[in-house]
Amino acid sequence: MSFRLGFDIGGTFTDFVIQNEKTGEVWLGKTLTTPKDPSIGVMNGLHALLAENGVDGSQIVQAVHATTLATNVVIERKGERIALLTTKGFRDILEFQRQKRYDLYDFYADKPVPLVPRHWILEVEERMAADGSVVRPLDEEQVRDLVRQLTARNVNSIAVSLLHSYRNPDHERRIEQIIKEESPQLPVSISSDVSPVIREYERTNTTVVNAYTMPAVREYLRRITAGLNEKGYFGHLYVMQSNGGIATSETVQKYPARIIESGPAAGALGAAHFGKIAGYTNLISFDMGGTTAKICLVEDSKPGMTNQFEIDRLQLKAGSGLVINVPAVDLIEIGAGGGSIAKVQMGMIAIGPESAGADPGPACYDIGGTDPTITDANLVLGYLNPDYFLGGKMKLNKEAAIKAIDERVANPLGLSVTQAAWGIHEIVTTNMARATRVVSIERGRDPRLFTLVAFGGAGPIHGARLARTIGVPRVIYPAGAGVASAIGLLVADVTFDLARTFIARIDENAIGPMKHIYGELEATALAMLEESKIKGQYTLVRSADMQYVGQGHEITVTLPPLTFTDADVVAIRKAFNDTYEGLYGYSDPGEAIMVVNWKLTASCATPKVASRNLQKIGNVEDALKGVRKAYFQETADYVDCRIYDRYKLFPGATLQGPAVIEERETAIIVLPGDVARMDEFDNIIVEVAVKEEIANA
C-alpha cells in the first residue's frame, strides 16, 4: 500500500495526516510543537503516528509540509545577520518605506522596524535607467571589496536590490557572481530573481525578507529531509507556499519569502475543499489554532488572492507591517489562538497578541505556564474535557486554570472566575468578529450569504459563537477539524507565480514585447514544474496588472487566450474593462489602458484527498458519552450539556444544542437553539439560530 503525508507546524501544535491512496482512509495526529527546534516535534509525532497505524516510511509516496518557521523568524527577529547592497543614493529605502501613513491623523504612529540595520546597508557604484539602459557601469572592484568586508564581519546572508533591476538584471547577476567567487558558501538573494517587479521599497523589502529567513529555512528543511530519510522516505519533500501551491524543498530553500503564509494558506485550501464537498462554495474560512486565528474569504470554492501582503503588523491596518511582494492567499491573521494570554489593561480584559505557545503553554497544560489563556477559559466554562484532551494523551489541570484566571483577571477586576472566563471567551470572539468583518463587510460582501468553515484546535469551540455574532447562518466542522490545515496540504497543486514588469500601453506596439515576455516566463515556469517531479497535466494561466493611463494603482486581470496578433488588443481591453466594471460598477471603454506587470501562474495537479461517502447507520443515543456542566450566555449560568462522541455519529445523525461533540483533536460546541447534523462525508453542519435583530437587518 502507498500513503501520502501532510504535516503542519503551528506555534503551539504540530498536526499530521496520513492518507491511504487506495482507500482514502486518513489517520490523524497532533503533538506539541518544540519551539527551540521544530524538527524534533515533527519527528517525534511522525514516529508515533506511523507506529500506531503500522505504516513504514518507505510506503509514503509524497510528503507535504507547512511551517510557520519563516514567519516566526521575522516576527521574533531571530534571523541571521544580513547585509543589503543597493544603488548609491538609495541606502535609506527601508527607512523611508512609503509616504502614506497607515493612520493618517496619527503623527506619532510608528513604522515597522526594518530587518536590516542601516549600518549593514552598503551602497554600490552603479545605476540603471527606468528603460534598462546603463547610466553608470557597475564598479566590480568596489563590490568585491565590500563582499570581503562583509565576509570578515561574519555576515550570514546578503540581499541585493538595485534601482530598476526588474528592467535590466545584469548588474545584480554580476554582483551575485562576485559574491559566489569571494564567498561560495554565503547565501545571496537578488531582487530580480525574488521579486522582479516595479516599486523599490516593496521589491527591496521582499528581497531582504528572503535573505533574512534563508539560512534558518535551509537548515530546518535539511533536518526535516534527513529525518524523513531515516524513516525510509527518500522522495521529494514539498512545502506549501503562500499562494496555496506547493513547491519542492529545494525551490523553497532558494525563495523562503514564498512560504511566509505557508500554514494559513493550507487552511484556506482545506476550507474550500471541505465546503465544496458539503455543497457550499461561498465560505468564510476560520482557522483558530493555538497561537493565532486566520480568516479568509472563499468565493466559488477559491480563496481570495493578493499580490502582496504584510507581516508583523503594528496594528490591524494596511501599511502597518512589513510588505512581502509575492502572491498569497488573501487572509487576515490576528493574535487570537487557544494559547493567547488574557490580562487586565486599563481596567479591562485584553487578549494577546502574546501567546503561551507550546512552551510554557497555558496554565492548564501544567508544564510551566502560569498565565491565563483562552484554553484555560474554555476549560473553566466546561467546553473542554480535561481527561480527553488530544484523545486522552494529555491531561488538563482545571484547578491550575481556575487559579490563573482568578489571580490575573478575576480578582483584579472584582469578578468571579466564571465571569472572568466568560469575559475572556466573549472578548476574543469580538476580536475575531472584527477581523471577519474586514474580509467580508469592508469588501462589500454580506456574511449572511456565506457559510463559515471552522477548524483548528480551537476553531470548533468558537465557530458557532462567531457565526452568531456576525450573522452567518451555517457552520461546517469538517472531519478531522482539529488538523484540517494538514489535510489542506493534500489538496494543493504544484503552483508557481511569475511576474515581470514592462510598462506598455495596450495597442499594436505591445504585441512584440508581450510575446517575448511570455515566452521567457513560460520557459522558466515549465523548467520549475519539471523540477517538481510531479507527473500530470500542466496548466498555464496568463494575467496582467493593468490600469487606466494616469492611475496610481493596478488591478489584476486574467487575460483571454492569446494569439500574439493585433486581435489580442481588443480582447485584452475588453477583459480589463469587464474586470474593472465588476469591481467598481463603472468602466470607460474609450480610455487608454496600460499594463505594468505581466504575470503567469503555472500549475500541475496532484492526487487529491478522496471524499469517502460514509454508509454507516446508528442511533444518536449510542454516541452519548455523558453530561457535563457548561456555561452559555443564553442561559447565563452553567447547565447540563450532553456530550457526544463524534466517532460514533453517522450520516443523518441530528442533535440539538446545547451540546458538545468531542473528537481527539478538538471539541465542537453546539449552542442552545442550534441544530447539528452529520452529512455523508463526516462533516458536522450546524444551522445557527441567528439573533432576530441580525436576521431582520
Whether residue 695 is predicted with pLDDT greater than 50 in this model: the reply is: no
**Over the stretch 556-567, which tens digit does the pLDDT of each residue have?**
999 999 999 999
Contact 398, 409 (CB under 8 A): no
Is the same domain home to 110 and 197? Answer: yes
What's the gap between Cα 14 and its chain centre? 15
- Report yes or no on 381 lying in a domain: no
Kindly state whether residues 64 and 11 are assigned to the same domain.
yes
Tell me the per-residue pLDDT of 377-388, one tens digit each, with 9 for 90 and over. Answer: 999 999 999 999
The total number of structural domains in the chain stands at 3
In the prediction, which pLDDT does 552 show? 87
Average model confidence (pLDDT) across the chain: 91
Q: Which helix (H) or strand (E) holds 463?
A: helix 459-470
State the pLDDT at residue 123: 97
Give the end of a domain, one of 148, 178, 212.
212
Residues 204, 84 share a domain: yes
Long-range contacts of 220-229 (CB under 8 A, 24+ apart): 220/38, 220/39, 220/67, 220/69, 221/249, 221/252, 221/253, 223/37, 223/39, 224/39, 224/42, 224/65, 224/249, 225/249, 227/39, 227/42, 227/43, 227/46, 228/57, 228/60, 228/63
- 25 within a domain of the structure (yes/no): yes
Query: Residue 452 and residue 471: Cα distance in Å, rounded?
Result: 10
Domain membership flag for residue 246? yes
CATH code, 138: 3.40.50
pLDDT digits (tens, 9 = 90+) for 250-282: 999 999 999 998 888 999 999 999 999 999 999
pLDDT at residue 6 in the model: 93
For 612-654, what is each residue's pLDDT tens digit?
Answer: 555 567 789 999 999 999 999 999 999 999 999 999 999 999 9
Give yes or no: residues 134 and 196 share one domain.
yes
Residue 314 lies in a domain: no
The span from the first CA to the last CA of the chain, in angstroms, equals 55
| Domain contains 190 | yes
The answer to whether residues 65 and 158 belong to one domain is no
Tell me the C-alpha distance between 563 and 580, whole Å: 23
Q: Is 668 helix (H, G, I), strand (E, B) or coil?
A: strand
Residue 501: how many other CB atoms lie within 10 Å: 19
* pTM (predicted TM-score): 0.88
Question: Grid coordinates 490580562 are at which residue?
Answer: 343
Residue 490 has pLDDT above 60, yes or no: yes
Whether residue 154 sits in one domain with residue 233: no
Neighbours of 198 (CB within 10 A): 20
Which tens digits make up the pLDDT trace of 16-69? 999 888 877 889 999 988 888 888 999 999 999 999 999 998 999 989 999 888
Residue 661 is predicted with a pLDDT of 97
Q: Please report whether residue 91 resides in a domain.
A: yes
**Helix (H/G/I), strand (E/B), else coil: 283:** strand
pLDDT digits (tens, 9 = 90+) for 353-399: 888 888 899 999 999 999 999 999 999 999 999 999 999 989 999 99
Same domain, 82 and 183: yes
Q: Are residues 88 and 40 in the same domain?
A: no
The pLDDT of residue 315 is above 80: no
Quote the CA–CA distance of 519 and 541 in Å, as a whole number: 13
Indicate the residue type of 674.
Answer: D
Query: Which residue, 17, 114, 20, is CA-closest to 74?
Result: 114
CATH code of the domain in which 40 resides: 3.30.420.40
Is residue 109 domain-shared with residue 139, that is, in the same domain? yes
Q: Are residues 208 and 232 in the same domain?
A: no
The grid coordinates of residue 510 equal: 505591445
Q: What are the tens digits of pLDDT across the range 437-481?
A: 989 998 889 999 999 999 999 999 999 999 999 999 999 999 889
- Given a cut of 70, whether residue 161 has pLDDT beyond it is yes
CB atoms within 10 A of CB 40: 15
Task: Among 545, 575, 604, identify where a domain stops.
Answer: 604
Peptide bond into 473 cis (omega under 30): no
Residues 191, 237 within the same domain? no
In a domain, 7, yes or no: yes
User: Quick one: which of 304, 393, 461 has its CA closest to 44?
Assistant: 393
Which of 212, 247, 274 is at the close of a domain? Answer: 212
| Residue 691's pLDDT band (cuts 50, 70, 90) | low
Q: Residue 610: pLDDT above 70?
A: no
| Overall average pLDDT of the 281-305 stretch | 93
Same domain, 113 and 125: yes
- Whether residue 692 is predicted with pLDDT greater than 50 in this model: the reply is no
Q: Please check whether residue 41 lies inside any domain of the structure.
A: yes
Range of the domain at 597: 494-604
Domain of 581, CATH number, reads: 3.30.1490
